[in-house]
Structure 1
Amino acid sequence: MMKPALTVILLISCSLIILLFTSSFGAAVSAAASKVPAIIVFGDSSVDSGNNNQISTLLKSNFRPYGRDFYGGRPTGRFSNGRIPPDFVSEKFGLKPYVPAFLDPWYNVTDFATGVCFASAGTGFDNATSNVLNVIPLWKQVEYYKIYQEALRANIGDTKSEYIIKEALYLISLGTNDFLENYYSFPSTRSRYTLEQYQDFLIDIAERFIKQIYDLGARKMSLTGLPPMGCLPLERATNLVDGKGGGCMNGYNEVALRFNAKLDGLVNRMNEEMEGIRVVFSDPYGVFLQMIRNPSSFGFEVSSVACCATGMFEMGYLCDELNPFTCRDANKYVFWDSFHPTQQTSRIIVEYLIQNSLHQFL
């Protein structure tokens, strides 16, 4: 029969072994979860978490009902009733459940160590697109990124900074405004380029941008394709066939598909030509179109118009908190305003992208 003292010693020893194993396993899981230490974002309103709040532009959303479903019901400058895609990506990678805007005075470089957003609503690849509403052009976002790098090095040192810069996941999402705000809105742009030439012009800018941030240390990137932009409520409203919005503008959707094919080709070329780079093409087009065509299969009730106001034309300041037509439950709607998806739509799109492209970085 085993002596009581020996039994106690064995129990303690077993407990220590289990504790050590658990700690080691936990550390291993934590290390695996931190393969991507930060989410760094460039782009337009699809990913802007509030930079436009701090610049002189009419394109803002730092007021309710925007943000009514965000943490604390706070409008942050996100063009949504709540969170946007980078926030969900950050959460999926085990980081914070939101990515702060670089120009937001609420945050500092310590907050930005796990994620930062340089995006600006209304911008595009083309500098002329950003001039339309006086927003932050893509080249300026890169300049902010350089400032961020300097601040990061000063705050946490070169070694940790270089690790974050190299291992971070860079989300790049823009292009819709180049077509809807620029090419199709200004005859001067159409007189300079055929549609094919303009797409190639944008692809050339995208390629130079990728090379630029690559030279600054970026290695893991996700280049996001265009949505079915002919099905945005604002575009459907101009294709009016009844009092609640018309059908999708198929011509615009075809342009989005062709441009996405060019982006995909660019991604393949970059991966072949650039040493150590890892770029994926994240394509939201298909799943987004499925939600629009068959909303009930995703738990939605309405996809032809948006939640805010009449849901046909309103965006930004026209999306007013006092408008009596704004829906009560945004989760029933695919679109939040006439141009942007609801928080629930963004959540579904990110889940799809995680499974089909971003899982490569997990």
Structure 2
Amino acid sequence: MAFREKKLIRNWQWQMNIVVVVAVVIVSLWSIAGVGADPQVPCYFIFGDSLVDNGNNNQLTSLAKANYLPYGIDFQGRRPTGRFSNGKTSVDIIAELLGFDQYIPPYATTRGNDILKGVNYASAAAGIREETGRQLGQRITFSGQVKNYQNTVSQVVNILGNKQSAANYLSKCIYSIGMGSNDYLNNYFMPQFYSSSRQFTPEQFADNLIQAYSQQLQALYNYGARKFVLFGLGQIGCSPSELAQYSRDGRTCVARINNANQMFNTRLKSLVDQYNNRLTDARFIYINAYGIFQDILSSPSTYGFRVTNAGCCGVGRNNGQITCLPLQTPCPNRKEYLFWDAFHPTEAGNAVIGNRAYRAQSASDAYPIDISRLAQI
């Protein structure tokens, strides 16, 4: 090979090396600056209870609050925000997977154009029924959360200029609803405060809840919602609180509570079919939280859990009779615990639920499709 040709090759290789170095630097700078792809949907609206509340109860006169350590001990530098966990909730995980660069903010503090990315309306102790959770103080019921959303829609109309633009925008967003846990925990299975268990059989109570739930879904649809994610109830009878009260050995799940939960879940899944058939311009999906919990309980080590019947912090049998006290020292091995306190999962537990809701790992996780596919529609 001639000397001139060798020199040209060396020059070309040197230039290519420079190009590669420059490309690496640019990519690194983009990463540092937070430049990335847009989220898969323009906004994410969240309705629910303490499983996903991220601060709406902080200013309420309520016993159902988590705005103190050790809550949030693993969240963005030991920061208690009102989340009932040591770290992220399931909807925080889902927001990350959807591509949002920030977690969805609570309704209580969200202002201006920030609402365009979505709002979290969830409230600890809230239920489908209006009276649910009243013994704990103030809370924002499902109907109250929907009214807050309607107020948000009015603001979206003002920001985008007209109702049609707002309707087009909202139709692309995802609406996550996880309600019903407190209607059992803080209503039906609390006869000392509520008469519902004397008024209704478990089957009748599930029917009553689904009827009220359906009315709120219709209201959301009337105000622009088109992509619905309905979370079924988890295995409430396996929570440290219920184990402490009703399980003889502190490990065996409480069948009568789980059976009642499954009655609700069966009806909720049927509601998905009803709405998909009736509202052809909308899509409803069901997340089988009960089944995901069953998988974890059946094989905890598969998910890295060592303890599934006790809270990482709390007081009483299995840390299940009272939730975390202010400044209480929690367990150090939090990733090995499914439950953070008497009722709520750890961040590790929430990660399993959030990941499998977003992208189903088994055919039963989501029906008829998972969140990742719903986002693409």
Q: One fold, TM greater than 0.5? A: yes
Superposition map of 1:123-138 within 5 A: 123-133=126-136, 134-138=138-142
Distance in 2 (alpha carbons) for counterparts of 1:99 and 1:45: 15
Partner of 1:110: 113
Distance in 2 (alpha carbons) for counterparts of 1:218 and 1:151: 15
Q: CA deviation at 1:313?
A: 1.6
1:149 matched to 2:153: yes
Question: Is the deviation greater in 141-150 or in 124-133?
Answer: 124-133
**Please, which of 308, 312, 322 is the counterpart of residue 320 of structure 2?**
312
Question: Is the deviation greater in 116-125 or in 151-160?
Answer: 151-160
Question: Is the deviation greater in 146-155 or in 84-93?
Answer: 146-155
Q: What do the CA deviations read for 1:263-302 (whole angstroms, capped 9, x no partner)?
A: 0000100000113010000111112122234321101111
Partner of 2:253: 248
> Secondary structure of the equivalent of 2:311?
coil
Partner of 2:244: 237
> Secondary structure of the equivalent of 2:339?
coil
1:297 matched to 2:305: no
Distance in 2 (alpha carbons) for counterparts of 1:264 and 1:312: 30
**8 Å CA contact retained: 2:57, 2:139:** yes
1:360 matched to 2:367: no
Give the TM-score taking structure 1 as reference length: 0.85
The one-letter code sitting in structure 2 at the alignment partner of 1:155 is I
Q: What do the CA deviations read for 1:210-260 (whole angstroms, capped 9, x no partner)?
A: 111100000000010000110000000113435xx3421022112222211
**8 Å CA contact retained: 2:128, 2:183:** yes
**8 Å CA contact retained: 1:153, 1:161:** yes
- For the structure 1 residues 164 and 74, does the alpha-carbon distance in structure 2 shift closer, same or farther, using more than 3 Å as the test? farther
Q: Gapped runs of 5+ residues in structure 2? A: 24-35, 361-369
Q: CA deviation at 1:169?
A: 0.2
**8 Å CA contact retained: 1:46, 1:174:** no
Distance in 2 (alpha carbons) for counterparts of 1:55 and 1:312: 24
**Please, which of 211, 217, 226 is the counterpart of residue 210 of structure 1?**
217
**Please, which of 43, 61, 69 is the counterpart of residue 74 of structure 2?**
69
- For the structure 1 residues 185 and 212, does the alpha-carbon distance in structure 2 shift closer, same or farther, using more than 3 Å as the test? same
Give the TM-score taking structure 2 as reference length: 0.82
- For the structure 1 residues 109 and 130, does the alpha-carbon distance in structure 2 shift closer, same or farther, using more than 3 Å as the test? farther
- For the structure 1 residues 91 and 322, does the alpha-carbon distance in structure 2 shift closer, same or farther, using more than 3 Å as the test? closer
- For the structure 1 residues 131 and 322, does the alpha-carbon distance in structure 2 shift closer, same or farther, using more than 3 Å as the test? closer
Q: CA deviation at 1:321?
A: 4.1
User: In the comparison of the two structures, how many residue pairs are matched?
Assistant: 334
The one-letter code sitting in structure 1 at the alignment partner of 2:95 is S
Q: CA deviation at 1:161?
A: 3.5
* Identical amino acids, percent of aligned pairs: 34
Partner of 2:178: 173
1:99 matched to 2:83: no
Q: What do the CA deviations read for 1:17-36 (whole angstroms, capped 9, x no partner)?
A: xx9xxxxxxxxxx88x5441
Q: CA deviation at 1:54?
A: 2.0
Q: CA deviation at 1:176?
A: 1.0
Question: Is the deviation greater in 168-177 or in 293-302?
Answer: 293-302
Distance in 2 (alpha carbons) for counterparts of 1:67 and 1:160: 38
Question: Is the deviation greater in 328-337 or in 216-225?
Answer: 328-337
Q: CA deviation at 1:303?
A: 0.7
The one-letter code sitting in structure 2 at the alignment partner of 1:266 is L
1:350 matched to 2:354: yes
Q: CA deviation at 1:162?
A: 3.2
Question: Is the deviation greater in 123-132 or in 176-185?
Answer: 123-132
Q: Gapped runs of 5+ residues in structure 1? A: 20-29
**8 Å CA contact retained: 1:229, 1:253:** yes
Q: CA deviation at 1:306?
A: 0.7
